[in-house]
Structure 1
Amino acid sequence: MEKQLERLMYLSRWILAPIYLGLSLALIALGIKFFQEVFHLLPHVLEIGEADIVLVVLSLIDLTLVGGLLVMVMFSGYENFVSRIDLDEGAEKLSWLGTLDTNSLKNKVAASIVAISSIHLLKIFMDAKNYDNDQLMWYVIIHLTFVLSAFAMGILDKLTKKHH
Protein backbone atom coordinates (compact mmCIF):
# COMPACT_ATOMS: atom_id res chain seq x y z
CA MET A 1 0.00 0.00 0.00
CA GLU A 2 2.78 2.44 0.95
CA LYS A 3 4.70 1.65 -2.26
CA GLN A 4 1.61 2.35 -4.39
CA LEU A 5 0.97 5.63 -2.58
CA GLU A 6 4.58 6.73 -3.07
CA ARG A 7 4.50 5.72 -6.74
CA LEU A 8 1.24 7.63 -7.25
CA MET A 9 2.68 10.70 -5.53
CA TYR A 10 5.81 10.47 -7.67
CA LEU A 11 3.77 10.13 -10.86
CA SER A 12 1.64 13.13 -9.88
CA ARG A 13 4.57 15.39 -10.81
CA TRP A 14 3.35 14.98 -14.40
CA ILE A 15 0.39 17.20 -13.51
CA LEU A 16 2.90 20.05 -13.79
CA ALA A 17 3.74 19.24 -17.45
CA PRO A 18 0.60 20.81 -18.97
CA ILE A 19 1.04 23.79 -16.65
CA TYR A 20 4.54 24.39 -18.00
CA LEU A 21 3.20 23.91 -21.52
CA GLY A 22 0.46 26.43 -20.69
CA LEU A 23 3.15 29.01 -19.96
CA SER A 24 4.02 28.84 -23.66
CA LEU A 25 0.55 30.28 -24.33
CA ALA A 26 1.49 33.24 -22.14
CA LEU A 27 4.68 33.53 -24.22
CA ILE A 28 2.57 33.66 -27.39
CA ALA A 29 0.42 36.39 -25.80
CA LEU A 30 3.58 38.40 -24.99
CA GLY A 31 4.79 37.98 -28.57
CA ILE A 32 1.47 39.23 -29.93
CA LYS A 33 1.55 42.22 -27.57
CA PHE A 34 5.18 42.94 -28.53
CA PHE A 35 4.44 43.09 -32.24
CA GLN A 36 1.21 45.00 -31.64
CA GLU A 37 3.32 47.69 -29.94
CA VAL A 38 5.87 47.68 -32.79
CA PHE A 39 3.20 47.90 -35.50
CA HIS A 40 1.46 50.68 -33.59
CA LEU A 41 4.72 52.63 -33.29
CA LEU A 42 6.10 52.32 -36.82
CA PRO A 43 3.49 54.39 -38.72
CA HIS A 44 3.90 57.25 -36.21
CA VAL A 45 7.65 57.10 -35.65
CA LEU A 46 8.27 60.43 -37.46
CA GLU A 47 5.47 62.22 -35.61
CA ILE A 48 6.09 61.31 -31.99
CA GLY A 49 8.71 62.69 -29.67
CA GLU A 50 11.88 61.02 -28.53
CA ALA A 51 10.57 60.47 -24.99
CA ASP A 52 7.50 58.65 -26.33
CA ILE A 53 9.67 56.39 -28.49
CA VAL A 54 11.86 55.62 -25.48
CA LEU A 55 8.74 54.72 -23.47
CA VAL A 56 7.59 52.29 -26.19
CA VAL A 57 11.08 50.78 -26.45
CA LEU A 58 11.16 50.33 -22.67
CA SER A 59 7.80 48.55 -22.92
CA LEU A 60 9.27 46.26 -25.60
CA ILE A 61 12.29 45.51 -23.39
CA ASP A 62 9.92 44.84 -20.50
CA LEU A 63 7.94 42.33 -22.58
CA THR A 64 11.17 40.69 -23.75
CA LEU A 65 12.47 40.27 -20.18
CA VAL A 66 9.17 38.76 -19.07
CA GLY A 67 9.34 36.39 -22.06
CA GLY A 68 12.85 35.30 -21.10
CA LEU A 69 11.67 34.76 -17.55
CA LEU A 70 8.82 32.58 -18.82
CA VAL A 71 11.21 30.45 -20.89
CA MET A 72 13.56 30.05 -17.94
CA VAL A 73 10.73 29.00 -15.60
CA MET A 74 9.18 26.67 -18.21
CA PHE A 75 12.31 24.70 -19.00
CA SER A 76 14.05 24.77 -15.63
CA GLY A 77 10.85 24.01 -13.75
CA TYR A 78 10.05 21.13 -16.08
CA GLU A 79 13.56 19.70 -15.72
CA ASN A 80 13.66 20.15 -11.94
CA PHE A 81 10.19 18.84 -11.14
CA VAL A 82 8.94 16.69 -14.01
CA SER A 83 11.54 15.12 -16.31
CA ARG A 84 14.85 15.74 -18.00
CA ILE A 85 14.54 17.21 -21.48
CA ASP A 86 16.20 14.81 -23.92
CA LEU A 87 17.34 16.50 -27.11
CA ASP A 88 18.74 14.68 -30.12
CA GLU A 89 22.50 14.70 -30.58
CA GLY A 90 23.50 17.84 -32.46
CA ALA A 91 20.21 19.59 -31.67
CA GLU A 92 20.42 23.18 -30.54
CA LYS A 93 20.48 23.30 -26.75
CA LEU A 94 20.29 26.28 -24.41
CA SER A 95 23.61 26.53 -22.56
CA TRP A 96 21.97 26.73 -19.13
CA LEU A 97 19.54 23.87 -19.69
CA GLY A 98 20.03 21.24 -17.03
CA THR A 99 22.24 23.48 -14.88
CA LEU A 100 19.66 25.46 -12.92
CA ASP A 101 18.61 23.87 -9.66
CA THR A 102 15.67 25.30 -7.74
CA ASN A 103 17.86 27.76 -5.78
CA SER A 104 19.55 29.04 -8.94
CA LEU A 105 16.18 29.35 -10.65
CA LYS A 106 14.74 31.21 -7.67
CA ASN A 107 17.66 33.68 -7.72
CA LYS A 108 17.42 34.19 -11.49
CA VAL A 109 13.66 34.80 -11.19
CA ALA A 110 14.32 37.35 -8.42
CA ALA A 111 16.99 39.08 -10.53
CA SER A 112 14.63 39.14 -13.52
CA ILE A 113 11.86 40.65 -11.40
CA VAL A 114 14.26 43.38 -10.26
CA ALA A 115 15.25 44.08 -13.88
CA ILE A 116 11.61 44.20 -14.99
CA SER A 117 10.72 46.43 -12.04
CA SER A 118 13.66 48.72 -12.87
CA ILE A 119 12.47 49.20 -16.43
CA HIS A 120 8.91 49.77 -15.25
CA LEU A 121 10.15 52.35 -12.73
CA LEU A 122 12.22 54.08 -15.42
CA LYS A 123 9.10 54.28 -17.62
CA ILE A 124 7.18 55.83 -14.73
CA PHE A 125 9.91 58.39 -14.02
CA MET A 126 10.03 59.36 -17.69
CA ASP A 127 6.30 60.04 -17.43
CA ALA A 128 6.42 61.38 -13.84
CA LYS A 129 4.25 64.40 -14.67
CA ASN A 130 1.27 62.02 -14.87
CA TYR A 131 1.84 60.61 -11.36
CA ASP A 132 1.49 62.26 -7.99
CA ASN A 133 4.27 62.09 -5.41
CA ASP A 134 2.52 59.44 -3.32
CA GLN A 135 2.26 57.12 -6.32
CA LEU A 136 5.92 57.68 -7.20
CA MET A 137 6.94 56.99 -3.60
CA TRP A 138 5.02 53.70 -3.56
CA TYR A 139 6.55 52.61 -6.87
CA VAL A 140 10.02 53.26 -5.45
CA ILE A 141 9.19 51.45 -2.19
CA ILE A 142 7.86 48.43 -4.07
CA HIS A 143 10.93 48.39 -6.34
CA LEU A 144 13.29 48.63 -3.35
CA THR A 145 11.40 45.76 -1.73
CA PHE A 146 12.11 43.64 -4.83
CA VAL A 147 15.77 44.69 -4.77
CA LEU A 148 16.19 43.92 -1.06
CA SER A 149 14.39 40.59 -1.41
CA ALA A 150 16.62 39.52 -4.31
CA PHE A 151 19.70 40.66 -2.40
CA ALA A 152 18.64 38.76 0.74
CA MET A 153 17.88 35.62 -1.27
CA GLY A 154 21.34 35.81 -2.87
CA ILE A 155 23.02 36.23 0.51
CA LEU A 156 21.04 33.32 2.00
CA ASP A 157 21.93 31.15 -0.99
CA LYS A 158 25.64 31.91 -0.54
CA LEU A 159 25.44 31.20 3.19
CA THR A 160 23.68 27.87 2.71
CA LYS A 161 26.15 26.79 -0.02
CA LYS A 162 29.10 27.47 2.36
CA HIS A 163 27.58 25.15 4.96
CA HIS A 164 27.17 22.23 2.54
Structure 2
Amino acid sequence: MSDHNNRLQPLPALIFASRWLQLPLYLGLIVAQAIYVWQFGIELIHLVNEVFLGGHATEAVAPENQKSAEIVIMLIVLGLIDVVMISNLLVMVIVGGYETFVSRLRLEGHPDQPEWLSHVNASVLKVKLAMAIIGISSIHLLKTFIEIGNLGAPGSRFTEAGVMWQTIIHIVFILSAIGIAYTDKLMAATPGKRTGH
Protein backbone atom coordinates (compact mmCIF):
# COMPACT_ATOMS: atom_id res chain seq x y z
CA MET A 1 0.00 0.00 0.00
CA SER A 2 2.76 2.40 0.96
CA ASP A 3 4.73 1.47 -2.16
CA HIS A 4 1.70 2.37 -4.28
CA ASN A 5 1.37 5.72 -2.49
CA ASN A 6 5.08 6.49 -2.86
CA ARG A 7 5.12 5.70 -6.58
CA LEU A 8 5.66 8.85 -8.64
CA GLN A 9 3.61 9.86 -11.64
CA PRO A 10 5.42 9.45 -14.99
CA LEU A 11 6.48 13.09 -15.43
CA PRO A 12 7.78 13.62 -11.86
CA ALA A 13 9.50 10.21 -12.09
CA LEU A 14 11.24 11.27 -15.33
CA ILE A 15 12.30 14.61 -13.85
CA PHE A 16 13.61 12.94 -10.69
CA ALA A 17 15.44 10.26 -12.70
CA SER A 18 17.15 12.99 -14.75
CA ARG A 19 19.60 13.42 -11.85
CA TRP A 20 21.37 10.31 -13.18
CA LEU A 21 22.49 12.39 -16.17
CA GLN A 22 25.10 13.80 -13.78
CA LEU A 23 26.71 10.38 -13.39
CA PRO A 24 28.96 10.72 -16.51
CA LEU A 25 30.14 14.08 -15.13
CA TYR A 26 31.33 12.50 -11.89
CA LEU A 27 32.90 9.60 -13.79
CA GLY A 28 34.73 12.18 -15.92
CA LEU A 29 36.04 13.83 -12.75
CA ILE A 30 37.36 10.43 -11.64
CA VAL A 31 39.31 10.30 -14.92
CA ALA A 32 40.60 13.81 -14.16
CA GLN A 33 41.65 12.54 -10.71
CA ALA A 34 43.66 9.75 -12.36
CA ILE A 35 45.34 12.32 -14.64
CA TYR A 36 46.34 14.35 -11.57
CA VAL A 37 47.84 11.21 -9.99
CA TRP A 38 49.89 10.78 -13.19
CA GLN A 39 50.92 14.46 -13.05
CA PHE A 40 51.96 14.04 -9.41
CA GLY A 41 54.16 11.08 -10.36
CA ILE A 42 55.86 13.11 -13.11
CA GLU A 43 56.51 16.03 -10.72
CA LEU A 44 57.84 13.63 -8.07
CA ILE A 45 60.26 12.07 -10.57
CA HIS A 46 61.33 15.60 -11.51
CA LEU A 47 62.01 16.39 -7.84
CA VAL A 48 64.06 13.20 -7.34
CA ASN A 49 66.02 14.02 -10.50
CA GLU A 50 66.74 17.56 -9.28
CA VAL A 51 67.96 16.42 -5.87
CA PHE A 52 69.66 13.06 -6.41
CA LEU A 53 70.31 12.41 -10.10
CA GLY A 54 72.42 15.32 -11.23
CA GLY A 55 69.73 17.92 -11.79
CA HIS A 56 70.21 21.67 -11.38
CA ALA A 57 69.44 21.48 -7.65
CA THR A 58 72.65 19.51 -6.89
CA GLU A 59 74.87 22.40 -7.96
CA ALA A 60 76.72 23.93 -5.01
CA VAL A 61 79.55 25.79 -6.66
CA ALA A 62 78.47 29.29 -5.69
CA PRO A 63 76.01 30.72 -3.14
CA GLU A 64 73.77 32.08 -5.90
CA ASN A 65 73.52 28.57 -7.38
CA GLN A 66 72.61 27.19 -3.95
CA LYS A 67 69.85 29.76 -3.65
CA SER A 68 68.62 28.96 -7.15
CA ALA A 69 68.66 25.22 -6.33
CA GLU A 70 66.64 25.80 -3.16
CA ILE A 71 64.07 27.82 -5.12
CA VAL A 72 63.81 25.10 -7.78
CA ILE A 73 63.15 22.43 -5.12
CA MET A 74 60.68 24.65 -3.27
CA LEU A 75 58.73 25.37 -6.46
CA ILE A 76 58.53 21.67 -7.33
CA VAL A 77 57.32 20.83 -3.79
CA LEU A 78 54.70 23.59 -3.99
CA GLY A 79 53.63 22.14 -7.34
CA LEU A 80 53.18 18.74 -5.64
CA ILE A 81 51.11 20.33 -2.86
CA ASP A 82 49.05 22.13 -5.50
CA VAL A 83 48.27 18.82 -7.25
CA VAL A 84 47.28 17.23 -3.91
CA MET A 85 44.97 20.13 -3.01
CA ILE A 86 43.27 20.05 -6.43
CA SER A 87 42.91 16.29 -6.01
CA ASN A 88 41.27 16.86 -2.60
CA LEU A 89 38.92 19.34 -4.25
CA LEU A 90 38.02 16.73 -6.86
CA VAL A 91 37.26 14.16 -4.14
CA MET A 92 34.97 16.64 -2.37
CA VAL A 93 33.11 17.41 -5.61
CA ILE A 94 32.86 13.75 -6.69
CA VAL A 95 31.83 12.24 -3.34
CA GLY A 96 29.91 15.18 -1.90
CA GLY A 97 28.25 16.10 -5.17
CA TYR A 98 27.16 12.54 -5.93
CA GLU A 99 25.85 12.09 -2.38
CA THR A 100 24.00 15.42 -2.47
CA PHE A 101 22.58 15.50 -6.00
CA VAL A 102 22.46 11.94 -7.38
CA SER A 103 22.15 9.10 -4.88
CA ARG A 104 23.17 7.96 -1.40
CA LEU A 105 26.50 6.17 -1.17
CA ARG A 106 25.32 4.32 1.98
CA LEU A 107 28.65 4.65 3.77
CA GLU A 108 27.14 4.77 7.27
CA GLY A 109 29.30 2.69 9.59
CA HIS A 110 32.08 2.28 7.01
CA PRO A 111 35.49 2.77 8.71
CA ASP A 112 36.72 4.99 5.87
CA GLN A 113 33.68 7.27 5.69
CA PRO A 114 34.89 10.90 5.56
CA GLU A 115 33.85 12.82 8.70
CA TRP A 116 32.49 15.73 6.66
CA LEU A 117 30.27 13.46 4.57
CA SER A 118 27.98 12.64 7.50
CA HIS A 119 26.53 16.17 7.49
CA VAL A 120 27.11 17.23 3.89
CA ASN A 121 24.52 19.25 2.01
CA ALA A 122 24.65 21.82 -0.78
CA SER A 123 25.51 24.69 1.61
CA VAL A 124 28.27 22.80 3.43
CA LEU A 125 29.68 21.65 0.10
CA LYS A 126 29.78 25.26 -1.20
CA VAL A 127 31.72 26.46 1.85
CA LYS A 128 34.17 23.55 1.70
CA LEU A 129 34.76 24.09 -2.02
CA ALA A 130 35.31 27.82 -1.46
CA MET A 131 37.90 27.07 1.25
CA ALA A 132 39.64 24.54 -1.00
CA ILE A 133 39.81 27.08 -3.85
CA ILE A 134 41.34 29.63 -1.46
CA GLY A 135 43.96 27.05 -0.46
CA ILE A 136 44.82 26.34 -4.10
CA SER A 137 44.97 30.06 -4.87
CA SER A 138 47.27 30.56 -1.86
CA ILE A 139 49.70 27.95 -3.19
CA HIS A 140 49.76 29.63 -6.61
CA LEU A 141 50.29 33.04 -5.01
CA LEU A 142 53.12 31.68 -2.85
CA LYS A 143 54.79 30.21 -5.95
CA THR A 144 54.46 33.61 -7.62
CA PHE A 145 56.03 35.41 -4.65
CA ILE A 146 58.94 32.95 -4.65
CA GLU A 147 59.55 33.47 -8.35
CA ILE A 148 59.00 37.22 -8.23
CA GLY A 149 62.65 37.77 -7.34
CA ASN A 150 63.46 36.72 -10.91
CA LEU A 151 61.24 39.37 -12.55
CA GLY A 152 64.12 40.77 -14.54
CA ALA A 153 65.64 37.38 -15.34
CA PRO A 154 65.35 35.84 -18.82
CA GLY A 155 62.34 33.53 -19.07
CA SER A 156 60.53 35.14 -16.15
CA ARG A 157 56.81 34.39 -16.40
CA PHE A 158 55.57 37.27 -14.26
CA THR A 159 55.04 41.00 -14.61
CA GLU A 160 54.22 43.46 -11.85
CA ALA A 161 50.71 43.90 -13.24
CA GLY A 162 50.25 40.12 -13.39
CA VAL A 163 51.30 39.71 -9.77
CA MET A 164 48.98 42.54 -8.72
CA TRP A 165 46.00 40.98 -10.50
CA GLN A 166 46.78 37.55 -9.05
CA THR A 167 46.77 39.09 -5.56
CA ILE A 168 43.50 40.92 -6.24
CA ILE A 169 41.86 37.72 -7.50
CA HIS A 170 43.04 35.88 -4.39
CA ILE A 171 41.49 38.58 -2.18
CA VAL A 172 38.24 38.30 -4.17
CA PHE A 173 38.26 34.53 -3.53
CA ILE A 174 38.64 35.18 0.21
CA LEU A 175 35.85 37.77 0.26
CA SER A 176 33.60 35.44 -1.75
CA ALA A 177 34.20 32.59 0.71
CA ILE A 178 33.42 34.90 3.64
CA GLY A 179 30.23 36.00 1.86
CA ILE A 180 29.18 32.38 1.19
CA ALA A 181 29.86 31.36 4.80
CA TYR A 182 27.98 34.41 6.15
CA THR A 183 25.00 33.78 3.86
CA ASP A 184 24.97 30.12 4.90
CA LYS A 185 25.01 31.18 8.57
CA LEU A 186 22.07 33.55 8.01
CA MET A 187 20.08 30.86 6.20
CA ALA A 188 20.77 28.36 9.00
CA ALA A 189 19.63 30.88 11.63
CA THR A 190 16.41 31.85 9.81
CA PRO A 191 14.34 28.71 10.65
CA GLY A 192 15.10 29.15 14.36
CA LYS A 193 13.96 32.77 14.30
CA ARG A 194 10.76 31.84 12.48
CA THR A 195 9.86 29.16 15.00
CA GLY A 196 10.45 31.65 17.80
CA HIS A 197 7.70 34.00 16.46
Instruction: Indicate the TM-score class for this superposition, using the shorter chain for normalisation.
Output: over 0.9
1:155 aligns with 2:194: no
TM-score by length of 2: 0.78
Answer 1 or 2: higher relative contact order, Cα 8 Å, separation at least 6: 1
Distance 1:6 1:113, change over 3 A: same
- In structure 1, what is the equivalent of residue 90 of structure 2? 70
Q: 1:103 aligns with which of 115, 123, 126?
A: 123
User: Is the 2:22–2:102 contact (alpha carbons within 8 Å) kept by the matching residues of 1?
Assistant: yes
TM-score by length of 1: 0.93
Aligned alpha-carbon RMSD (Å):
1.7
Residue identity opposite 1:27 in structure 2: Q
Structure 1 position 4, deviation (Å): 1.1
- In structure 2, what is the equivalent of residue 44 of structure 1? 50
- In structure 1, what is the equivalent of residue 16 of structure 2? 10
Distance 1:90 1:70, change over 3 A: closer
1:143 aligns with 2:170: yes
| Cα deviations by residue, 1:15-70 (Å, 9 ceiling, x for unpaired) | 11221122110000000001100101202215411111111111111110000010
Larger Rg: 2
**Which range moves more in the overlay, 137-146 or 37-46?**
37-46
The alignment covers a number of residue pairs equal to: 163
| Cα deviations by residue, 1:85-105 (Å, 9 ceiling, x for unpaired) | 024865532222242100000
Query: Which ranges of structure 2 fall in alignment gaps of 5 or more residues?
Result: 1-7, 58-68, 192-197
Once residues 27 and 139 of structure 2 are traced to their aligned partners in structure 1, the CA distance between those partners, rounded to angstroms, is 27
Q: 2:34 aligns with which of 28, 46, 57?
A: 28
Distance 1:5 1:27, change over 3 A: same
Identical residues among aligned pairs (%): 40
Residue identity opposite 1:43 in structure 2: N
